[in-house]
Structure 1
Amino acid sequence: MGKIVKVFVAAMLLSLSMSASSQQVLDRVAVVVNEGVVLQSEVEQLLQQVKRGAQQKGTELPSDRVLRIQAMDRLILAELQLQMAQRMGITISDTQLQQALEAIAQDQNMSVDELRSTIEASGTNWENYRESIRKEMIITETQRATVRRRVYVSPQEIENLVNAMKEMTEQEVEYRLSHILVGFREGANADEVQSTRERAEKLLERLRNGADFSQAAITSSSGPRALEGGDLGWMNINAMPTLFADAVRDKGKGEFIGPLRSGVGFHILKVSDVRGIEQVQVDEVKARHILITPSIILSERKAQEKLAGIRESILAGEVEFADAAREHSADPGSAAMGGDLGWAEPNIYAEEFKRKVERLPIGELSEPFETQFGWHIVEVLDRRQLDATKRSQQNRAYQLLFSRKYQEELENWQQELRDQAYIETLIQ
Structure 2
Amino acid sequence: MAGFVLAALFNLSSVNAEDLDFIVAIVENDVVLNSELQTETAAIVKKLKANKVDLPPDNILKGQVLERIIVDKLQRHLAKTSGINVTNEMLQAAVKEIAQRNNMNAEQFKQQLQSQKINYKDFEENIRHEIAINQVRAHEIGGQIKVSDSEVEHALETQGEVTLDKSQYHLGHILIAIPEAASSEVIQKAKRRAEEVVAKLRDKADFNKTAVETSDDAQALQGGDLGWRTLAQMPTIFVDVAAKMAAGDISEPIRSPSGFHIIKLHEFKGLSKVQSHILTKTNVRHILIKTNELVDDNEAKRRLMAIKTRITDGDDFAALARAQSDDKGSALKGGGLDWVVPGAMVPEFEKAMDNLKVNELSNPVQTQFGWHLIQVLERKQQDDTSEFKKNQVRDAIRERKIEEETELWLRRLRDEAYVEIFKDRL
Question: TM-score range, shorter-chain basis?
Answer: 0.7 to 0.9
Among 93, 102, 112, the residue aligned to 2:106: 112
User: Given the two structures, how large is their TM-score scaled by the length of structure 2?
Assistant: 0.78
Q: Identity of counterpart residues, as a percentage?
A: 29
Q: Does 1:276 align with 2:278?
A: no
Q: Which has the larger radius of gyration?
A: 2
Whichever residue aligns with residue 154 of structure 1, its letter is S
Among 90, 93, 97, the residue aligned to 1:99: 93
In 2, distance between residues paired with 1:38 and 1:285? 54
- 1:171–1:278 Cα contact (<8 Å) kept: yes
1:324 is matched with 326
- 2:248–2:264 Cα contact (<8 Å) kept: yes
Whichever residue aligns with residue 64 of structure 1, its letter is D
Structure 2: which 5+ runs fail to align? 308-319, 355-361
Moved more, 336-345 or 414-423: 336-345
Among 30, 41, 49, the residue aligned to 2:24: 30
Greater than 6 Å deviation, 4+ residue runs: 168-171, 282-291, 334-339, 357-361, 378-386
In 1, distance between residues paired with 2:194 and 2:272? 36
In 1, distance between residues paired with 2:211 and 2:350? 36
Cα deviation for residue 412 of structure 1 reads: 1.0
Cα deviation for residue 14 of structure 1 reads: 7.1
Whichever residue aligns with residue 97 of structure 2, its letter is A
Matched residues, number: 392
Moved more, 202-211 or 57-66: 57-66
Among 151, 156, 163, the residue aligned to 1:157: 151
Cα deviation for residue 289 of structure 1 reads: 11
In 1, distance between residues paired with 2:186 and 2:287? 57
Q: Secondary structure at the match of 2:205?
A: coil
Question: Per the alignment, do residues 222 and 169 of structure 1 end up closer, same or farther by CA in structure 2, a change over 3 Å counting?
Answer: closer
In 2, distance between residues paired with 1:290 and 1:76? 52
Moved more, 225-234 or 41-50: 41-50
Q: Secondary structure at the match of 1:256?
A: coil
Among 130, 138, 141, the residue aligned to 2:132: 138
Moved more, 30-39 or 208-217: 30-39
Question: Per the alignment, do residues 115 and 67 of structure 1 end up closer, same or farther by CA in structure 2, a change over 3 Å counting?
Answer: farther
Q: Does 1:244 align with 2:238?
A: yes
In 2, distance between residues paired with 1:147 and 1:192? 27
Moved more, 97-106 or 307-316: 307-316
Q: Secondary structure at the match of 1:232?
A: strand
In 2, distance between residues paired with 1:335 and 1:66? 65
Cα deviation for residue 104 of structure 1 reads: 2.1
Q: Secondary structure at the match of 1:366?
A: strand
- 2:164–2:393 Cα contact (<8 Å) kept: no
User: Given the two structures, how large is their TM-score scaled by the length of structure 1?
Assistant: 0.78
In 1, distance between residues paired with 2:119 and 2:257? 40
Q: Does 1:401 align with 2:397?
A: yes
In 1, distance between residues paired with 2:294 and 2:147? 38
Whichever residue aligns with residue 205 of structure 2, its letter is A
- 1:102–1:112 Cα contact (<8 Å) kept: yes
Among 3, 6, 10, the residue aligned to 2:3: 6
In 2, distance between residues paired with 1:345 and 1:13? 57
1:90 is matched with 84
Q: Does 1:66 align with 2:53?
A: no
Among 75, 81, 87, the residue aligned to 1:81: 75
Q: Does 1:209 align with 2:228?
A: no
In 2, distance between residues paired with 1:59 and 1:381? 55
Whichever residue aligns with residue 366 of structure 2, its letter is S
2:250 is matched with 256
Whichever residue aligns with residue 8 of structure 1, its letter is V
Moved more, 281-290 or 34-43: 281-290
In 2, distance between residues paired with 1:283 and 1:247? 35
Q: Does 1:49 align with 2:43?
A: yes
Cα deviation for residue 97 of structure 1 reads: 2.0
1:199 is matched with 193
In 2, distance between residues paired with 1:213 and 1:199? 15
Cα deviation for residue 256 of structure 1 reads: 1.0
Question: Per the alignment, do residues 168 and 14 of structure 1 end up closer, same or farther by CA in structure 2, a change over 3 Å counting?
Answer: closer
Whichever residue aligns with residue 390 of structure 1, its letter is S
Q: Secondary structure at the match of 1:273?
A: strand
- 2:155–2:163 Cα contact (<8 Å) kept: no
In 1, distance between residues paired with 2:331 and 2:36? 46
- 1:311–1:377 Cα contact (<8 Å) kept: no
2:366 is matched with 366
Cα deviation for residue 95 of structure 1 reads: 2.4
Cα deviation for residue 34 of structure 1 reads: 1.4
Question: Per the alignment, do residues 396 and 381 of structure 1 end up closer, same or farther by CA in structure 2, a change over 3 Å counting?
Answer: farther
Whichever residue aligns with residue 303 of structure 2, its letter is A
Whichever residue aligns with residue 420 of structure 1, its letter is E
- 1:282–1:345 Cα contact (<8 Å) kept: no
In 2, distance between residues paired with 1:165 and 1:199? 33
Cα deviation for residue 165 of structure 1 reads: 6.8
- 2:3–2:27 Cα contact (<8 Å) kept: no
In 1, distance between residues paired with 2:154 and 2:185? 39
